[in-house]
Amino acid sequence: MNEYSFILWHDSEMATTAKSAKRTATREKRRRQLIDAAVKCIARKGLGNTTIGDVAAEAGLSQGIVNLHFESKDNLFHETLRQLADEYKMRFESAMNKSRPLAADRLQALMELDLSPSICDRKKIAVWFAFWGEVKSRPTYRKICEKLDEHYDEVTKGLCDELIAEGNYKGISGAGVSTVLTSITNGLWQTCLISPKSFDRQQAMSAINEYLQSIFPKHFPVNSIED
């Protein structure tokens, strides 16, 4: 009986899964650990100045670990972006599902999500901007971002179309409003990144609400929204 069998013996859940499954699990955990470390480093030092050594050190592991699990630095960053996008999408879906199934509520929920402290956090925004900064020269980065944006636009446009139909609003289009809404959050994040001192979550949310109230007065009556 060796060290290995000892572990397998005591952990019945492990025992039921195959040995390779356990390895895979461990492997996935390490990858996740390294991606998390990469995010922290990118937030602190930027994409261009983050070295594989930084990431390994942040994870408390050794030099060679990144190449062992990701084959290359490029790949690590690629997977990191994918992870960020997946995470964002999950939270997006979750916000939709948790809200009341009304277009106005959902739109409101999505806007609030984008300004929520865990997403509209300067460190995380810095990471997004770090990747966006390389989008032009890295087609693969662009594709991941584009796909996420497309989904965001599609959903928002759908909700706006619904509201416009419901409210019989004139002079506006779902496409136009969703374009504005999508743009606003990006613009607010930029302010949070560049002028953190003048950025104020409340004011930002107020600006969005003012907009929604002006444009969809029937769905977002004044004072209907409270914090």
- Show the CA angle centred on residue 192, arms to residues 190 and 197, nearest 5°: 135
Q: Are 193 and 122 in contact (CB under 8 A)?
A: yes
The SS3 of residue 212 is: helix
Under rule CB under 7 A, which residues in 30-49 are in contact with DNA? 30, 49
Select from 14, 57, 184, 225 the one that contacts its own copies (CB under 8 A): 184
- Binding partner at 63 among its own copies, DNA, none, C-beta below 5 to 8 Å by kind: DNA
Task: Indicate the residue among 14 and 133 with the shorter CB distance to its own copies.
Answer: 133
Q: Are 163 and 169 in contact (CB under 8 A)?
A: yes
CB 47 to its own copies: min, Å: 6
Task: Indicate the residue among 66 and 84 with the shorter CB distance to DNA.
Answer: 66
CB 101 to its own copies: min, Å: 26
Query: Considering the rule CB under 7 A, would residue 194 count as an interface residue with DNA?
Result: no
Q: How far apart are CA 131 and CA 135, in angstroms?
A: 6
Q: What is the dihedral of CA 111, 116, 122, 127, to 10 degrees?
A: -70
Q: Please return the burial class of 10, using the count of CB atoms within 10 Å of its CB with bins 0-12, 13-18 and 19+.
A: exposed
Q: How far apart are CA 12 and CA 29, in angstroms?
A: 19
Query: Considering the rule CB under 8 A, would residue 107 count as an interface residue with its own copies?
Result: no
Task: Indicate the residue among 54 and 114 with the shorter CB distance to DNA.
Answer: 54
Binding residues for its own copies, per CB under 8 A? 43-49, 122-123, 126, 129-138, 142, 145-146, 149-150, 171-173, 175-177, 179-180, 182-188, 190-191, 193-195, 198, 203-204, 206-208, 210-211, 213-215, 222
